[in-house]
């Protein structure tokens, strides 16, 4: 094990070991845990940065595995695998994680349980880093579950709010559905590769086409749950009940991208692992998610839920980019969108958090308005975020998202048109939100008395805004890095083509429409809702997916099934356990009686035992049963 391997372990090991101390030190003084937690993530970030630069210089993939459970016949490798994909993910996770935990120092400073919060945040970040650096699917799965656990804990952090508690449960259960697919996928991969796929780099040992399709689709099932794609996206909007920084961390930078990372990881091992069938499924799941979430985003009024639906849609672009099946180019497109999205979505969430902090947690955008004057820095940063999100030329989203749309033109014109419409919808909801928040007059009392947040909350916002604005200049260098080409230079923008103009025109049109409809006093929204009331209701009810899951699957299916098995459990198994317990208890009472306390009796028992044993020996010898 050389230094770089140890450092790679430390990236996630340091916060993983440190998180109990973060919570523990909080019992001495609550604020200490804030400082310790921030410091831990900062160190992780520094180590990642160092490894990232040393990787760009010498380009050696850090690979180290040891055998977990050496007693088992199979070799189960655990360890680290850090290539360009893992590096860039780790860098993003630790950097955005650091900014968000810094923001939390201001945001959570009055919460009585903040030491627990920081402990959970540190654990979350470390598990996410472990996830991207894992060398085997099994280890990836362990961290995947840890991430799920932390998100459950963090979403339910304000557990005294019934909404938060049920949202946490919903997130946990829905992602669990995906995890079933994931673990089945791991099993299938190991089976089909005859054990080779225990370590990630052995995935290529699956040879048959149909086997690859099955493995790819099962793993994608896991990714759907974690990355909130249709139809398992339903948990994210409810998860907005957690503290806003949690939303930013989980829903922008980290947890939701785990699924995309998983698919990219698989795809990067061997581009033929995702077969054409699997690619088509992946592409259209992404496209459907984009359109659905864009539509729903237009009718929701809760500022955090708008961002949640926007997250779902943006991840849809990442998934669709992988589904285009362009090999390493797809990975480059997808991961670049992932990183850009991490910055501008974290920015939007933090800006929203800053606004909510100012308006006493009133989350309805209809009750805001006129905030640009009251909190100029935050709302300007939000404008940057909205521009980046909708892909205004020059901002991050333009380079990341529009590149995907352009690339899809060569694959399928149908998909291209849907992706472009998705971009249009994105612009509409982004600017609907922005105009309602920023312009007009304050529409409620808290909005009237809003004021700018403290500097510690503004610093991360400004940094993220800067990144969202200029991230495009890294585009070419980024693609080269992810695609493992010789990097010509860190800066550079991929050349634009004519088809690029379509999304830009749609985007500008969307901005105009948004201003026309929501940026000033107008009655158009009411007219549209009453004009197309059926469609409006369908979208407003989120396409009845939640109702379907709750009423049909959960209440009719799962609860019915569990009632049956509960009866079986109580009557059959419970009866058996009770009976055996009673048997043991009664025989205990009997056997106890031979413990008389008389030493001579003990000696007698020994003697009888000895005679019996010798007799047994004699019988065995005579009968010759054993040789």
Give me the least distance between CB of 123 and other proteins, in Å please: 16
535 contributes a contact to other proteins by CB under 8 A = no
Minimum distance of other proteins from residue 587's CB (angstroms): 5
For residue 136, give the DSSP letter: B
Residue 12 CB, nearest distance to other proteins (Å)?
17
Query: Per CB under 8 A, which region of 25-33, 284-292, 371-379, 592-600 contacts other proteins?
Result: 592-600
Q: Which two tokens stand for residue 23?
A: 């919570």
Closest contact distance (angstroms) between CB of 34 and other proteins is 26
530 to 472, 480, 523, 525, 526: CA distances (angstroms)? 41, 50, 11, 9, 6
The count of other CB atoms within 10 Å of the CB of residue 574 is: 11
Per-residue mark of binding to other proteins, 28-67 (x: CB under 8 A): ----------------------------------------
Residue-by-residue DSSP string for 24-87: HHTTT-HHHHHHHHHHHHHHHHHHHHHHHHHHHHH-PPEEEEEEESTTSSS-EEEEEEE-HHHH
By CB under 8 A, the residues from 297 to 356 that bind other proteins are none
- Closest approach of Cβ 576 to other proteins, in Å? 13
Q: Which of 89-97, 529-537, 562-570, 613-621 is the region at the interface with other proteins (rule: CB under 8 A)?
A: 613-621
With a CB cutoff of 8 Å and minimum separation 6, the contacts of 54 are 4
Contact between 613 and other proteins by CB under 8 A: the answer reads: yes
Choose the binding region for other proteins from 12-20, 354-362, 470-478, 615-623 (rule: CB under 8 A): 615-623
Of these, 57, 74, 208, 599, which contacts other proteins (CB under 8 A)? 599
**The pair of three-digit structure tokens given for residue 195, joined into one six-digit string:** 């054990």
The contacts found for 547-552 with CB under 8 angstroms, 24 or more apart, are 549/174, 549/234
Residue 486 binds to other proteins (criterion: CB under 8 A): no
How many Cα atoms are found within 13 Å in the side-chain-facing hemisphere of 438? 20
Distance CA(141)–CA(222), nearest Å, equals 10
Angle at the Cα of 112 (from 108 to 114), degrees rounded to 5? 45
In the complex, minimum distance from the CB of residue 570 to other proteins, in angstroms, rounded to a whole number: 19
Q: Which of 119, 118, 125 is nearest to 103 (CA)?
A: 118
CB of 199 to other proteins, least distance (A): 18
Closest residue by Cα to residue 83 from 58, 63, 99, 54: 63
Residue 626 found at the interface with other proteins (CB under 8 A): yes
Nearer to other proteins, 567 or 581 (CB): 581
- Residue choice 58, 71, 521, 530 for contact with other proteins (CB under 8 A): 71
Among 3, 112, 160, 584, indicate the residue that binds other proteins (CB under 8 A).
Answer: 584
Would you tell me how many other CB atoms lie within 10 Å of the CB of residue 206?
A: 24
Closest separation between CB of residue 72 and other proteins, Å? 8
- Max intra-chain CA distance, the chain: 106
Measure Cα distances from 231 to 107, 155, 234 in Å: 33, 21, 7
Query: Is residue 609 close enough to count as binding other proteins by CB under 8 A?
Result: yes
* Stretch near other proteins under the rule CB under 8 A, chosen from 315-323, 419-427, 531-539, 591-599: 591-599
Q: Which of 451, 526, 589, 623 binds other proteins (CB under 8 A)?
A: 589
Q: In whole angstroms, give the CA distance from residue 392 to residue 470.
A: 12
Stretch near other proteins under the rule CB under 8 A, chosen from 276-284, 385-393, 548-556, 598-606 = 598-606
For the CB of residue 62, give the shortest distance to other proteins in the complex, in Å: 22
Give min distance, CB of 590 to other proteins, in A: 9
Q: How many CB atoms lie within 10 A of CB 626?
A: 6
Length of the chain: 627
Helix (H/G/I), strand (E/B), else coil: 535: helix
Q: Is 541 in the site for other proteins (CB under 8 A)?
A: no
Verify binding: residue 621, other proteins, rule CB under 8 A: yes
Residue 74 interacts with other proteins (CB under 8 A): yes or no: no
- Cα Rg, the chain, nearest whole Å: 29
70 counts as binding other proteins under rule CB under 8 A: yes
Quick check: 623 binds other proteins (CB under 8 A)? no
> CB under 8 Å to 516, separation ≥6 — which residues?
522, 524
Q: Which stretch binds other proteins (CB under 8 A): 129-137, 452-460, 554-562, 610-618?
A: 610-618
616 lines the binding site for other proteins (CB under 8 A): yes
CB hemisphere CA count around 124 (13 angstroms): 33
> Among 162, 498, 588, 623, which residue sits at the site for other proteins (rule: CB under 8 A)?
588
Q: Among 119-127, 367-375, 425-433, 616-624, which window interacts with other proteins (CB under 8 A)?
A: 616-624
Considering only 522, 550, 562, 601, the residue that binds other proteins (CB under 8 A) is: 601
592 binds other proteins (CB under 8 A): yes
Q: Within 10 A of 484 (CB to CB), how many other CB atoms are there?
A: 16
Does 614 bind other proteins (CB under 8 A)? Our answer is: yes
Residue 17 Cβ, how far from other proteins at the closest point, in Å? Answer: 11
| Alpha carbon separation from 543 to 71, 538, 586 (Å, rounded) | 51, 5, 60
Question: Which residue in the set 162, 486, 531, 597 belongs to the binding site for other proteins (CB under 8 A)?
Answer: 597
Going by C-beta distance under 8 Å and a sequence separation of 6 or more, which residues neighbour residue 220? 181, 263, 278, 281, 282, 285
Q: Write down the least CB distance from residue 135 to other proteins, Å.
A: 17
Q: 40 — phi, psi (to 5°)?
A: -60, -50
Residue 606 near other proteins by CB under 8 A: yes
Positive or negative, the Cα torsion across 511, 512, 515, 517?
A: negative
Residue that the structure tokens 């974290």 belong to:
346
Contact 390, 423 (CB under 8 A): yes
Q: How many residues bind other proteins (CB under 8 A)?
A: 30
Q: Min. distance of Cβ 627 from other proteins in angstroms?
A: 7
Q: Is 624 in the site for other proteins (CB under 8 A)?
A: no
Q: Which residues contact 314 (CB under 8 A, 6 or more apart)?
A: 337, 341, 345, 389, 401, 426
Tokens representing 479 are 């693609």
**Residue 602 is a binding residue for other proteins (CB under 8 A):** yes
Find the part of the chain contacting other proteins (CB under 8 A) among 33-41, 122-130, 408-416, 596-604.
596-604
Cβ 597 to other proteins shortest distance, Å: 6
C-beta of 579 vs 606, nearer to other proteins = 606
Closer CB to other proteins, 532 or 621, in the complex: 621
Interface contacts to other proteins, rule CB under 8 A: 70-71, 581, 584-585, 587-589, 591-592, 595, 597, 599-603, 605-606, 608-610, 613-614, 616-617, 620-621, 626-627
């Amino acid at each position: 094990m050389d230094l770089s391997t140890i450092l790679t372990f430390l990236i996630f090991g340091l916060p993983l070991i440190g998180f109990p101390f973060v919570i523990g030190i909080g019992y001495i003084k609550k604020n200490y845990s804030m400082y310790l937690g921030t410091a831990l993530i900062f160190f992780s970030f520094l180590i990642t940065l160092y490894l990232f630069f040393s990787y760009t210089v010498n380009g050696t993939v850090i690979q180290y595995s040891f055998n977990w459970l050496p007693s088992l016949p199979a070799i189960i490798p655990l360890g680290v695998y850090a290539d360009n994909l893992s590096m860039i993910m780790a860098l993003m996770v630790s950097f955005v994680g650091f900014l968000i935990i810094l923001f939390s120092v201001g945001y959570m400073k009055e919460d009585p349980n903040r030491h627990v919060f920081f402990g959970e945040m540190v654990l979350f970040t470390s598990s996410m880093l472990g996830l991207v650096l894992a060398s085997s699917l099994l280890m990836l799965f362990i961290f995947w579950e840890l991430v799920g656990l932390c998100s459950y804990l963090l979403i339910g952090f304000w557990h005294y709010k019934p909404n938060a508690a049920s949202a946490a449960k919903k997130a946990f259960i829905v992602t669990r559905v995906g995890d079933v697919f994931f673990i089945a996928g791991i099993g299938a991969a190991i089976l089909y590769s005859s054990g080779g796929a225990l370590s990630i780099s052995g995935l290529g040992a699956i040879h048959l086409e149909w086997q690859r399709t099955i493995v790819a689709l099962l793993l994608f099932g896991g990714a759907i749950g974690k990355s909130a794609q249709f139809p398992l996206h339903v948990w994210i909007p409810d998860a907005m009940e957690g503290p806003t920084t949690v939303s930013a961390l989980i829903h922008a930078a980290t947890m939701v991208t785990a699924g995309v990372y998983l698919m990219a990881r698989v795809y990067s091992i061997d581009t033929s692992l995702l077969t054409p069938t699997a690619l088509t499924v992946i592409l259209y799941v992404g496209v459907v998610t984009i359109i659905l979430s864009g539509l729903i985003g237009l009718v929701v009024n809760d500022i955090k839920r708008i961002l949640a639906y926007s997250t779902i849609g943006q991840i849809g672009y990442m998934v669709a980019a992988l589904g285009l099946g362009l090999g390493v180019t797809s990975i480059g497109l997808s991961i670049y969108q992932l990183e850009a999205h991490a910055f501008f979505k974290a920015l939007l969430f933090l800006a929203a958090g800053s606004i909510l902090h100012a308006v006493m947690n009133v989350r309805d955008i209809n009750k805001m308005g006129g905030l640009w004057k009251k909190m100029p820095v935050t709302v300007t940063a939000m404008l940057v975020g909205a521009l980046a999100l909708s892909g205004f030329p020059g901002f991050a989203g333009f380079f990341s998202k529009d590149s995907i749309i352009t690339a899809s033109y060569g694959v399928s014109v149908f998909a291209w048109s849907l992706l472009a419409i998705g971009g249009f919808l994105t612009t509409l909801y982004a600017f609907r939100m922005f105009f309602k928040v920023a312009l007009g007059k304050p529409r409620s009392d808290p909005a009237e008395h809003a004021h700018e947040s403290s500097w510690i909350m503004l610093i991360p916002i400004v940094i993220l805004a800067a990144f969202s604005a200029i991230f495009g200049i890294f585009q070419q260098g980024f693609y080269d890095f992810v695609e493992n080409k010789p990097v010509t230079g860190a800066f550079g923008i991929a050349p634009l083509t004519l088809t690029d103009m379509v999304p830009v025109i749609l985007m500008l049109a969307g901005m105009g429409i948004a201003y026309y409809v929501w940026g000033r006093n107008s009655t158009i929204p009411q007219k549209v809702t009453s004009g197309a009331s059926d469609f409006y209701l369908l979208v407003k009810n989120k396409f009845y997916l939640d109702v379907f899951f709750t009423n049909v699957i959960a209440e009719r299916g799962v609860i019915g099934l569990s009632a049956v098995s509960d009866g079986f459990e109580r009557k059959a198994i419970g009866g058996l356990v009770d009976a055996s317990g009673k048997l043991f208890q009664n025989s205990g009472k009997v056997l106890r009686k031979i413990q008389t306390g008389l030493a001579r009796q003990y000696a007698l028992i020994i003697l009888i035992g000895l005679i019996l044993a010798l007799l047994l020996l004699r019988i065995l010898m005579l009968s010759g049963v054993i040789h």
